[in-house]
Each structure stands twice: as C-alpha cells, then as structure tokens.
C-alpha cells in the first residue's frame, strides 16, 4: 500500500480530471453506449496490472463507476498509488470511447444520533451484517461487500426530541454541490444551515427530514 494521501493532493495531481473524491475514496463515472460496452470497459480495467488493491467496479446499463479506496485496520481513504491507477483507467476509458461524467459521482452514509453508541451499534451491525470500521470502530459501520452505505453514529450529549435522530449524508463532487443544493431547494426543500459550507449544507424536506450535502472542500 502506498502512503496515505489527502483528498486535496489527489485533486492537485495532473491527469485525474475525470475523478472526484466524495467521502469514501476517489470515484469516476464513465458513460458507455451500452451495457455490453460497459462490460468491455470493466474487462479492460481488469487486465491492467500493478494493483496492490484492485478498484471497485460497478457496471450498469449506461455506464461504469470505478472507485479507489484503501480499507485497512488503521486507515480508510486514499493512497499515493491511486493517482497513477486513476490515470491509467482514464486512458483505457478514452481508448474505448467512454466519456467521464463527474456529475454522476456521489456516495452517501446514514447518520444516527446516539447517546451511547456502544449500546446501539451492535444492533445495526447484526441487522445489516456489517463490520466495524477498523480505524473508528466506536463510530462507524461499513458494508464488507463494499456496496451499501456506511453508517456513522454521531455522539449526542443530550436527547434532541425536536429533531429526527437519523439523517442522510450525501457526498457529491466539490464542483457539483451548489447545483445540487439549488435543485433540492427548488424541489420543495429548505435550507436549515449553510454555516459550514462548502464542507456541508444542511437541508430539509417539507416535513423536516434532513440531509447534509457534503464535499471534501476544507477538510484537509
């Protein structure tokens, strides 16, 4: 595994313009003309050598999503080797005529407010068949299949009965966040707080159910 890599340094590297860091690793979405072409792109990625830890590849009918992330007992994030791997995959995609679309890149986690996480987390771990995250086992659960959203148990010092105890954190590309916020408000939502923007904006629907739209900006 390469050295740990902050998201800012990944984005400052040359040749990774197709990629965005969205909370859980560096992701790219490549539009393909068909499912068959997506399978061909995934196969071409699979033939590349030099992966100490291969990427997650998700093939759908109209495109392919690729994610790089290092998951270790003491670390959850990017490594220096991911820069060169991202460049190589972008090159393969261009050769096959697949076009990167950063606006399609996102990831999300569920956040549960908990007074005593140690009493709450085992239930959710058992229900979902999840694992404790190695570097933050007292706060986070992750899907060992690397498909479902992570769950963060946010510590509370006192109950907050006036607000929902569960909300969604939606991570989007840093250059897509303001458009996503505007679209949500136009669709009937309202701004709860933008005090922490551009790290995150807190929005709510007409009944007060909340979502934090988050980016990597300002985090490292």
pLDDT tens string 102-140 = 999 999 999 998 888 888 899 999 999 999 999 999 999
Where among 42, 71, 104 does a domain terminate? 104
Query: What pLDDT does residue 84 have?
Result: 97
Domain end position, chosen among 78, 104, 130: 104
Instruction: Give the Cα separation of 52 and 50 in Å (integer).
Output: 6
Whether residue 220 is contained in a domain is answered as no
The verdict on 117 and 32 lying in the same domain is no
- Taking only the tens place, the pLDDT of each residue in 2-56 is 799 999 999 999 999 999 999 889 999 999 989 999 999 999 999 999 998 899 9
**Which of 70, 104, 138 is where one domain is finished?**
104
Into how many domains does the chain fold? 2
Q: What is the pLDDT of residue 2?
A: 75
Range of the domain at 120: 106-214
148 with 64, same domain: the answer is no
Q: Looking at residue 127, which CATH number applies to its domain? A: 3.10.180.10
Write down the pLDDT at residue 20: 97
């Amino acid at each position: 595994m390469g050295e740990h890599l902050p998201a800012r340094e990944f984005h400052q590297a040359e040749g990774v313009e197709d990629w965005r860091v969205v909370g859980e690793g560096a992701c790219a979405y490549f539009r393909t003309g068909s499912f068959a072409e997506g399978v061909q792109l995934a196969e071409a990625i699979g033939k590349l050598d030099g992966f100490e830890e291969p990427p997650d590849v998700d093939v759908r009918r109209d495109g392919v999503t690729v994610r790089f992330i290092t998951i270790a007992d003491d670390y959850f994030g990017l490594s220096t080797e991911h820069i060169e791997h991202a460049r190589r995959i972008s090159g393969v995609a261009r050769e096959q005529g697949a076009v990167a679309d950063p606006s399609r890149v996102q990831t999300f986690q569920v956040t549960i407010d908990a007074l005593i996480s140690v009493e709450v987390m085992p239930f959710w771990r058992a229900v979902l068949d999840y694992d404790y995250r190695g570097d933050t086992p007292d706060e986070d659960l992750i899907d060992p299949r690397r498909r479902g959203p992570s769950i963060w148990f946010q510590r509370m010092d006192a109950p907050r009965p006036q607000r929902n105890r569960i909300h969604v954190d939606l991570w989007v590309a840093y250059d897509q966040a303001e458009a996503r916020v505007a679209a949500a408000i136009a669709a009937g939502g309202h701004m709860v707080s933008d005090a922490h923007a551009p790290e995150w904006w807190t929005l709510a629907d007409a009944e007060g159910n909340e979502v934090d739209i988050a980016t990597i900006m300002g985090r490292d």
